[in-house]
Amino acid sequence: MKRRHFVIGGALAASVRAAPTHARQLHQDGVEWFTDVEVSAHDGRTYRFYDDLLKGRIIMVNFFYTDCDLLCPLMTDNLVRVQALLGPRVGRDVFMYSISLQPEHDTPEVLAAYAKHHSVGPGWLLLTGQSADIELLRHRLGFVDSDPVRDANLEEHLGTVRLANVPMHRWTMTPALLNPEQIVRALKRVIPEQA
């Protein structure tokens, strides 16, 4: 059984914008909740999590790791089918993110090889970053098992995809292994008035 371990401290970038301090109307929203931690993608670029990846977007996000030989390959392949169904919308008005649960192992280069192997198309970023940052994102996005023993077991990570219309603050979730047509339908339900 693999256990998560954490790289705490180290050389951390100090360039995160302070959260706004004025009272906000929405909970669990914006940079305050989702944070602007810096994440690295398999495309070799770095992004601020909220400002660059979430803000104003319709997104799908899940967690995985490249060494996972149980659930993740199935999930990734299923999401590849979802991406195919969505076609050119991915990268245009729908954005897909898969965040590594083993960020210290899953470097951008490792993620790039994984993306190529699984035919991950454009508009879908595999993300990694500082362990503590990723751990915070995992908590904020609700990929946490409330049973601490189970939560600590990497092999029992959640096999779900969060679907969100971020500006509408409309969040739902669906199992990553649901048939791809149903995942697309669930995604469309968070988008108002699809033509």
Partner 1 sequence: MGGWQDRLAEVARRNRQEIIRARLTRREMVRLGLLTSTGALVLKRGLSSRAFADDSGNTPPSPPVTPWSQPMPILPVKAPITPNQMTAGPLLANGTRQLVPVDGTTLIDGATQRINHQLFTVNEDGTFGGTFPPQKFYQFDIRETQIRLNPAYELTTFWGFDGQVPGPVIQATYGEPALVRYQNNLPSVKIAQDFGIAEVTTHLHNAHTPTESDGNPVDYFNSSADTGPINPTTNKPVNPLGYKDQHYPNVYAGYVKLGNASTNSIATPAGDPTEALGSLWYHDHHLDFTAQNVYKGMFGCYTLFDALDTGDETTGLRLPSGKYDIPIFFNDFVIDQDYQLVFDLFNLDGIIGDRFAANGAIQPYLNVDQRRYRFRLYNPGPSRWYEFALYDGSKFWPFWQISTDGNLLPQAVQVSSVRMGVSERVDIIVDFSKISAPKLYLVNRLEQVNGRGPTGRVLTPGTPIVMINIGGLPAQRDQSVDPAAKPLTLRPLPDPDFKALQSLAAKARVRNWVFDQGDSGTWVVNDELFDPNRISASIDQESEEVWVFQNPEDNWSHPIHVHFEEHRVLSRNGKTVTPNTQFNGAIDYARRDVAPLQQQSQTKVFFRFRDMKGRYVMHCHNVVHEDHAMMVRFDIV
Interface with partner 1 by CB under 8 A: which residues? 6, 8-9, 12-14, 16-19, 21, 23-28, 32-33, 35, 37, 70-71, 75, 130, 132-133, 135-136, 139-142, 144-147, 156-160, 162, 167-179, 182, 186, 189-190, 192-193, 195
Q: Which is nearer to partner 1, 112 or 132 (CB)?
A: 132
Collapsed DSSP state (helix, strand, coil) of residue 181: helix
Q: Which is nearer to partner 1, 112 or 144 (CB)?
A: 144
Q: Which is nearer to partner 1, 28 or 113 (CB)?
A: 28
In the bound complex, what is the minimum distance in angstroms from residue 145's beta carbon to partner 1?
A: 6
Residue 112 contacts residue 44 (beta carbons within 8 Å):
yes
Going by C-beta distance under 8 Å and a sequence separation of 6 or more, which residues neighbour residue 129?
Answer: 37, 38, 39, 40, 103, 137
Q: Which is nearer to partner 1, 32 or 43 (CB)?
A: 32
Tokens for 89?
């919308």
Tokens for 121?
């198309």
Distances in whole angstroms, Cα of residue 148 to Cα of each of 2, 99, 132, 187: 14, 20, 17, 30
In the bound complex, what is the minimum distance in angstroms from residue 120's beta carbon to partner 1?
A: 20
In the bound complex, what is the minimum distance in angstroms from residue 112's beta carbon to partner 1?
A: 25
Tokens for 95?
């954005």
Q: Which is nearer to partner 1, 80 or 177 (CB)?
A: 177
- At residue 36, what is the residue type? D
Written as one string, the DSSP assignment of 47-116 is EEIIIIIITT-EEEEEEE-TT--SSHHHHHHHHHHHHHHHGGGBTTTBEEEEEES-TTT--HHHHHHHHH
In the bound complex, what is the minimum distance in angstroms from residue 122's beta carbon to partner 1?
A: 27
In the bound complex, what is the minimum distance in angstroms from residue 153's beta carbon to partner 1?
A: 10
